[in-house]
Amino acid sequence: MAYQLDEEEQLILATVKKFLEQEVAPVAAELEHRNEYPTEIVERMKEINLFGANVPEEYGGLELSYTLFAMIFEEISRVWMGLAGILGTHTVLCDVLARFGTPEQKQRFLPLLARGEKRGAICLSEPQAGTDLQAIRTTAERRADNYFINGSKMWITNGRRGEMLLILAKTDKEATPVYTGMSAFIAEKGEPGLTISRDIDKLGYKSLETCELLFEEFRVPAENLIGGTEGAGFKQVMTGLEAERLNVAARGLGIARAAFEEAIRYAQQRRTFGKPICEHQTIQIKLAEMATKIEASRLLIYSAAEKKDQGERCDLEAGMAKLFATETAQECALEAMRILGGNGYAKDFPVERYYRDAPLLIIGGGTNELQRLIIARNLLKKYALNPV
């Protein structure tokens, strides 16, 4: 890999690791089992500027390279994937604003977001549309200097505590192709017409809320239309999701590593038939396969991040990284559970948490079925036969 962290980047990563080790690891399991929001930890995340991770420096952010950004998501998820969720949607909102916001929008919102004073949620999915985002029904109708949003959004992580919302809505229901009638808005909470209908009870990804939101004549000033042009929202959001695929892939790597580390430690301590279980060949094969897939995930992620750092599109590489690293997370969590035997199933050990958190990664950030389609589409483009 060509990318080497410079001194400042090494310091940032070391600070994050120290914070995770000293302040998060000791309490993660307890908070997660109680499904309790980590308020104090989030305050500390603000202090070490994590909410400004991908905000340009001129707006008070750290403007990290994608490589370091991915490393930070990996380290956080190695300790507690839920915490990465508090940061994840926020960074997508920051990414979309930094790329496509008008100068006035950037000036107004990015410094607040970078400080974590306001935190972001992304409102894309709806009860009847997740993968097929062009099928959303939420509308934004312009009247004088405002848009009025009507519709229902589903699965909105940070929907209750996030104060700024990235909303994807249709401004032209008749447009063809459909995506050209879709627009993205940055909305601040506080206006009437927004109801947080419920918090969804989830298998894992505990301690942070994922909600259903109802918009009824919710007012958003016209100046909050991202980029100031109607019809650009779908492309803006899709570009933001490319960076999200990298963060989700890195989360997969973090969980896979955590599961592997727990398994290899346990395998050297636990004895059966007169020897540590790591001396049984079946266990050795599991450890070898886990470690190999983890290393492959790492290489895929950092090669995709490096490409993005060079300013290139990385749909294909990010798709491959997301697919492979998150499937690896799922496999490693289950293999670690097998290696720990009964203890893998007990809440006294962290493996059951990895096992509950990993599947979200194969669904969120674009399902892995969708990643395969993206990969294949890009391959067909790359290897297109010349027309005769």
Ligand X SMILES: Cc1cc2nc3c(=O)[nH]c(=O)nc-3n(C[C@H](O)[C@H](O)[C@H](O)COP(=O)(O)OP(=O)(O)OC[C@H]3O[C@@H](n4cnc5c(N)ncnc54)[C@H](O)[C@@H]3O)c2cc1C
Just list the catalytic residues.
Answer: 244
Judged by CB under 6 A, does residue 80 bind ligand X? Answer: no
Contacts of 388 (CB under 8 A, 6+ apart): none
Contact status: 155 vs ligand X (CB under 6 A)? yes
Number of residues that bind ligand X (CB under 6 A): 21
Decide: is 360 part of the binding site for ligand X (CB under 6 A): yes
Q: Which is nearer to ligand X, 1 or 203 (CB)?
A: 203
Contact 207, 37 (CB under 8 A): yes
Which bin fits 49, alpha (ψ -120 to 50), beta or left (φ > 0)?
Answer: left
Is 137 among the residues that bind ligand X (CB under 6 A)?
no
**Nearest-approach distance from CB 161 to ligand X, in angstroms:** 12
Residue closer to ligand X, measured from CB, 73 or 205: 205
Nearer to ligand X, 125 or 224 (CB): 125
Burial of 137 (0-12, 13-18, 19+ CB in 10 A): middle
Beta pairing partners, 153: 213
Is residue 246 involved in binding ligand X (CB under 6 A)?
no
**330 counts as binding ligand X under rule CB under 6 A:** no
127 phi/psi in degrees, rounded to 5: -55, -35
Single out the residue of 67, 77, 105, 157 in contact with ligand X (rule: CB under 6 A): 157
User: Is the CB of 19 or the CB of 73 nearer to ligand X?
Assistant: 73
Among the candidate windows 172-180, 261-269, 318-326, 362-370, which touches ligand X by CB under 6 A?
Answer: 362-370
Evaluate whether 86 touches 72 at the Cβ level (below 8 Å): no
Of 110-118, 152-160, 174-182, 339-347, which segment contacts ligand X by CB under 6 A? 152-160
Q: Does 48 bind ligand X (CB under 6 A)?
A: no
Q: Is 125 a residue that touches ligand X (CB under 6 A)?
A: yes
Q: What is the pattern of x (binds ligand X, CB under 6 A) and - over residues 180-209?
A: ----------------------x--x----
Q: Contacts from 372-375 at CB under 8 Å and sequence distance 24+?
A: 372/323, 374/315, 374/316, 374/319, 375/316, 375/319, 375/320, 375/323
Nearer to ligand X, 65 or 91 (CB): 91
Q: Omega of the bond prior to 276 within 30 degrees of 0, cis?
A: no
Nearer CB in complex with ligand X: 15/128 = 128
Question: Which segment (71-79, 123-131, 280-288, 312-320) binds ligand X by CB under 6 A?
Answer: 123-131
Binding status of residue 369 toward ligand X by CB under 6 A: yes
Q: Looking at 49, 89, 138, 224, which residue binds ligand X (CB under 6 A)?
A: 89
In the complex, the smallest distance separating the C-beta of residue 340 from ligand X, rounded to whole angstroms, is 25
Instruction: Please tell me the distance from the alpha carbon of residue 101 to that of residue 28, in angstroms, as a whole number.
Output: 36
By C-beta, is 212 or 262 nearer to ligand X? 212
CB of 119 to ligand X, least distance (A): 12
Positions touching ligand X (CB under 6 A) are 89, 122-125, 130-132, 155-157, 202, 205, 210, 360, 363-364, 367, 369-370, 373
